Structure 1
Amino acid sequence: MQDYEEIVAFLGEWGPYQKFIFFILSFSTFSNGFCGLSFVFVGDVPEHRCLIPGNLNLSETWRNRTIPLIQGAELQHSKCTRYRLNVIMNLSETFPDPDFLNVSEIEQEPCLDGWEYSKEQYISTIVSEWDLVCKDHWKAPFSVSMFFAGVLVGSLVSGQLSDRFGRKLVLFGTMAVQSIFGIAQVFAPSWEIFCLFNFLIGLGQISNYVAAFVLGSEILGKSTRLTYSTLGVCISYALGYMLLPFIAYFLRNWRMLLLALSLIGLTYIPLWWLIPESPRWLLVKGRVKEAEEIFQYIAKKNGVTLPEVLLDEPELEDMRTRQAQSYTVFHLVKTYNIRAITVINVLIWITTAVGYHGLSLSTSNLHGDNYLNCFFCAAIEVPAYTAAWLFLQKFPRRCTLSSTTLFGGAVLILTQFMPSDISGLTTALVMSGKLATTCGFSMIYVYTAELYPTAVRNMGVGFSSMASRIGSIVSPYVFHLGVYDKFLPFTVMGILTAFLGPLVLLLPETFKIPLPDTFEQMQNVKGLKCGSTSKGHIRSYKKGKPEHNDQNNEEN
């Protein structure tokens, strides 16, 4: 009985049509690069201090003395308190010159009349528009957490929607959700409505990315899937991310910035007539005629001849039977071995998500220009994805991923010890940490898929990816630690990232080992060591004699 790969082998692996689909589906993830990460500018906190009403009869000298000075890293005006205005008014009438008074002994009060914000960098952000500072400072990172909460829900439902209604419909439907609610968010009248729209945008964002990933994987041949999943969609995402600071530099009003970014989604409308449905999904659903029409079109574009008999009924029935086999999340924890792999994977995905998103959102904590820092943070992803692709092609998974995360964690921890006058070195260390974290994040997608058997592979990757959204939701509060110390977020992320080094070594090695089709063919979790491919495992796999059976799995 032929499998799907053998059935469509006549189409070739890298013909003109596959190249076209590779690039056009990669382009569909372009807008994901700035969706969510726009908060770096939309939610940035401008310099601010208590507003002193302009109708008060105070001299300029007294106005300058109304805000207390506090000692932090340097002497600066308080952001959340002022001296009691009724006392200041009484004193100003008696003492025209405040230099003869010890003003610091006056009782303080909160900013009862609001705040005044610096216009040096931004015309407005959501922070300055809705006063998300001082006692409401938690609301800014919560806005990002709502986006990632939407991403979490999208992770839960996108797979089921894609399996039921098709990859193409979900791809374009979620693009529409992302664009429509992105435009609606521009007109949000309150912070609460802004958060609601952020949740809905997040729901569409991940579903769009996953649908493009799955559709490309099912149309492209197996020899190009690794390149597509690491270089294609990922680098397109990075290019979108690189465009973000360029647009934000010219649009300093948060509403105009979001409008411009959302309107870019309209450029995807023509793709509806260029991207086909997955023929593999159509065959499983029994829509053979539609699948054959797509095969005929691909064959014509590639200059190959379609076989007279492409599929017979037994082959179709076998595909449907295998698709209909039911597995649940319970199978990911059924035995000790697969349970250990699942738990370790979940910890790795959550921690990596905290590091990646925390670093992406923390550019405002770095010295120098926010726009340049954001661009560098985006541009560093291109060599990171390229390195991940090379590592996956040439080197064992465990040692490579472990070394990458240890290096990333170490350089981030070092930022805490850098002298304040060497800001360039600190930025270089953070960018090195971002490179390592991004490289690791890209690699774990492929590594996780290689660990699970075919029966639950999609479920295993999906469950791990869903767990990573917990890390994404937490990440805004990690970067928000910069309110207390600019380098504290990098230290926390460095410790978490370094923790992954030894944790990865607990997983089995999968390099040059055939993908397991059954639970019996899975490798056992081993000790903390960097090992090469198990030759015995490969021999037993090729002979069709599993190295261990379900009973051994239960005992292990």
Structure 2
Amino acid sequence: MDAKPCSQEAFCGKPNIYHEVDWTQENSLHNWFESLSLECVPKARIGFIGSSLFIGWASGATFLPRLSDNFGRRRVFIGSMALQVLTFIGLFLSTNIDVNTFFMFVFGVASVGRTSLSFLYMMELLPANRQVLCGTILQLCNASVSIVGSVYFWKVSKEWIYLVLIGCLLAILSMLGAIVMPESPKYLVTKGRYDEARKAISYIAKINQQEPFIGVFDKEAIQKAAAVNYSVFDTNLETGQESEQVRLIKEEDQLTGTIKDLIKIRRHFINLLIFVYIWTASSFDMYLVTYSMKYIPGNIFKNLLTSALLDLPFALLGGLAFHTLGVKTALTTAFIVAICGSVLIALLSEDNPEFVHYMFSLARGGVKVTFDICYLANSTIFPAIFAGAAFGLCNMGAKIATILSPMLAEVQAPIPMIIFTCVAALAAVLSMLLIMKESNHKRSLSK
């Protein structure tokens, strides 16, 4: 009997009609549609599997960053990776849509530690003059994941489980690696645990075949001097910089790491409000344009590969812009680039289909740069004692808004790109209102 192409409506609810997947089509995959029998499940129910990831992410952002501020970056990261490994195992074994939805929620919770806290942990382990370089390399690696995934499903295999198995193994290696690593010295100094911080730095020095650290931290010296009513000055700094450094250290010394502290200092409170919106706008627009890309004609894997390859130069630009322009100018410029892409999509995509890839890449690349800058800037804008809490609040807002992206991507064009443009335009304006001294930013990068 000859088979013919059909839609779900042709066989769902009709037990007498036989149907099967056409595996000769290069877009066909062995995935959850097959293992969970999702062919006749409502699209809204299927979409909720993905939404549960973001709901879990937003939920995890309410408490995991705060735990990292109280108990350390290392412990919370290890716990998050252990939870993620268990979630991988559950997803491998599950054959039920409700169970998978639950595990995706848990995976979202663990993702806060896997992405945000791990990045913060890495930044605090690095000297200031290496943070931008290492952060940029990490973003290049993140962009490469999409390339690997696209090539794998297009040319290597239609089986999802082998690619995800690699992710599980990498999670195990990350967890084991963190077990033998020290706690963040910056976090320990902020907490006043100076001896532990010296041990952590000495351990890092030993790995790098350097002499152990036996010095005194600036904050420690100022605290000791304050106890005996002495003034402390850093002879390596100019007089104006001395007083500013002492003032900032004394200010941070009064902090306990609570959200109340974050709010009562006007500078930090304004920056937090602005950063929450900027982070939310970056995440929302990133996923909105990504979901909209599925409507580009042609092979979906080839389209995704093209987009991923075009992401690489933008990953480099994020670190370069942060280093050379500073946070405010870099964010504003990147949002303007994204707006240019979205306006081109809204006005010219229908009449110029051959250039649609580049229009989408311009819009996506612009918000990718802003996303990367958000990660790099967090540890420089907020004191370490509540950098984790700031990360969490920004992530929570971003993931809550991101839940709407898949639904808005289904709205009739050009409405999605109009929304994209409005969100990015407000973020560009707010970026210029961040309260920070560019000179201090550049000086910290040169140390």
TM-score bracket for the superposition, by shorter chain length: 0.7 to 0.9
| Residue pair 1:413, 1:495 contacting (<8 A) in 2 also | no
Q: CA deviation at 1:433?
A: 1.1
Task: Specify the code of the residue in structure 2 equivalent to 1:247.
Answer: Y
**Residue of structure 2 equivalent to 1:18:** none
**Residue of structure 2 equivalent to 1:182:** 88
CA deviation digits over 1:516-551, x for unaligned, max 9? xxxxxxxxxxxxxxxxx9xxxx9xxxxxxxxxxxxx
**Residue of structure 2 equivalent to 1:504:** 431
1:195 and 2:101 aligned: yes
Task: Specify the code of the residue in structure 1 equivalent to 2:127.
Answer: G
**Residue of structure 2 equivalent to 1:352:** 282
Superposition pairs for residues 227-238 of structure 1, below 5 Å? Answer: 227-229=133-135, 231-238=136-143
Q: CA deviation at 1:429?
A: 0.8
CA distance in 2, matches of 1:309, 1:503: 41
**Residue of structure 2 equivalent to 1:387:** 317
CA distance in 1, matches of 2:191, 2:262: 26
CA distance in 2, matches of 1:503, 1:489: 22
| Residue pair 1:170, 1:208 contacting (<8 A) in 2 also | no
CA distance in 2, matches of 1:145, 1:402: 30
Match of 2:123 among 217, 223, 226: 217
Shift in CA distance, 163/420, structure 1 to aligned 2, threshold 3 Å: closer
1:80 and 2:9 aligned: yes
**Residue of structure 2 equivalent to 1:426:** 356
**Residue of structure 2 equivalent to 1:408:** 338
CA distance in 2, matches of 1:499, 1:225: 28
Q: CA deviation at 1:353?
A: 0.8
Bigger mean CA deviation after superposition, 418-427 or 126-135: 126-135
| Residue pair 2:198, 2:213 contacting (<8 A) in 1 also | no
**Residue of structure 2 equivalent to 1:472:** 402
Q: CA deviation at 1:418?
A: 4.0
CA deviation digits over 1:309-333, x for unaligned, max 9? 6579965976999668335434555
| Residue pair 2:190, 2:385 contacting (<8 A) in 1 also | no
CA distance in 2, matches of 1:257, 1:465: 26
Q: CA deviation at 1:364?
A: 2.7
Structure 2 residue matching 1:368: 3-state secondary structure = coil
**Residue of structure 2 equivalent to 1:68:** none
**Residue of structure 2 equivalent to 1:368:** 298
Q: CA deviation at 1:151?
A: 1.6
Structure 2 residue matching 1:514: 3-state secondary structure = helix
CA distance in 2, matches of 1:300, 1:456: 29
TM-score calculated relative to the size of structure 2: 0.76
| Residue pair 2:116, 2:391 contacting (<8 A) in 1 also | no
| Residue pair 1:447, 1:510 contacting (<8 A) in 2 also | no
Q: CA deviation at 1:439?
A: 0.6
Q: How many residues align?
A: 414
Task: Specify the code of the residue in structure 2 equivalent to 1:504.
Answer: S
| Residue pair 2:205, 2:213 contacting (<8 A) in 1 also | no
1:263 and 2:169 aligned: yes
Structure 1: runs of 5+ lacking an equivalent: 1-58, 65-75, 83-109, 516-532, 539-556
1:326 and 2:262 aligned: no
CA distance in 1, matches of 2:204, 2:351: 60
Bigger Rg, structure 1 or 2: 1
Match of 2:63 among 130, 154, 157: 157
Shift in CA distance, 141/328, structure 1 to aligned 2, threshold 3 Å: same
Shift in CA distance, 504/183, structure 1 to aligned 2, threshold 3 Å: same
State the percentage of identical aligned residues: 19
CA deviation digits over 1:419-451, x for unaligned, max 9? 658533111111111111101122234456555
Bigger mean CA deviation after superposition, 491-500 or 186-195: 491-500
CA distance in 2, matches of 1:321, 1:337: 12
Bigger mean CA deviation after superposition, 463-472 or 131-140: 131-140
**Residue of structure 2 equivalent to 1:47:** none
Shift in CA distance, 275/430, structure 1 to aligned 2, threshold 3 Å: same
CA distance in 1, matches of 2:194, 2:181: 18
| Residue pair 2:293, 2:360 contacting (<8 A) in 1 also | no
**Residue of structure 1 equivalent to 2:440:** 514
> What's the C-alpha RMSD, in Å, of the aligned pairs?
4.0
Q: CA deviation at 1:496?
A: 3.0
Bigger mean CA deviation after superposition, 114-123 or 372-381: 114-123
| Residue pair 2:58, 2:109 contacting (<8 A) in 1 also | yes
**Residue of structure 1 equivalent to 2:231:** none
CA distance in 2, matches of 1:498, 1:311: 42
**Residue of structure 1 equivalent to 2:152:** 247
**Residue of structure 1 equivalent to 2:184:** 278
Shift in CA distance, 268/138, structure 1 to aligned 2, threshold 3 Å: same
CA deviation digits over 1:25-70, x for unaligned, max 9? xxxxxxxxxxxxxxxxxxxxxxxxxxxxxxxxxx97xx97xxxxxx
CA deviation digits over 1:162-197, x for unaligned, max 9? 244433333233222222311320222211111111
Shift in CA distance, 324/164, structure 1 to aligned 2, threshold 3 Å: farther
Q: Which has the higher helix share?
A: 2
Structure 1 residue matching 2:181: 3-state secondary structure = coil
Superposition pairs for residues 444-455 of structure 1, below 5 Å? Answer: 444-447=374-377
Shift in CA distance, 455/304, structure 1 to aligned 2, threshold 3 Å: closer
Match of 2:110 among 181, 204, 215: 204
| Residue pair 2:56, 2:105 contacting (<8 A) in 1 also | yes
Structure 2 residue matching 1:122: 3-state secondary structure = coil
If asked which structure has higher relative contact order (CA below 8 Å, sep 6+), I would say 2
Structure 2 residue matching 1:156: 3-state secondary structure = coil
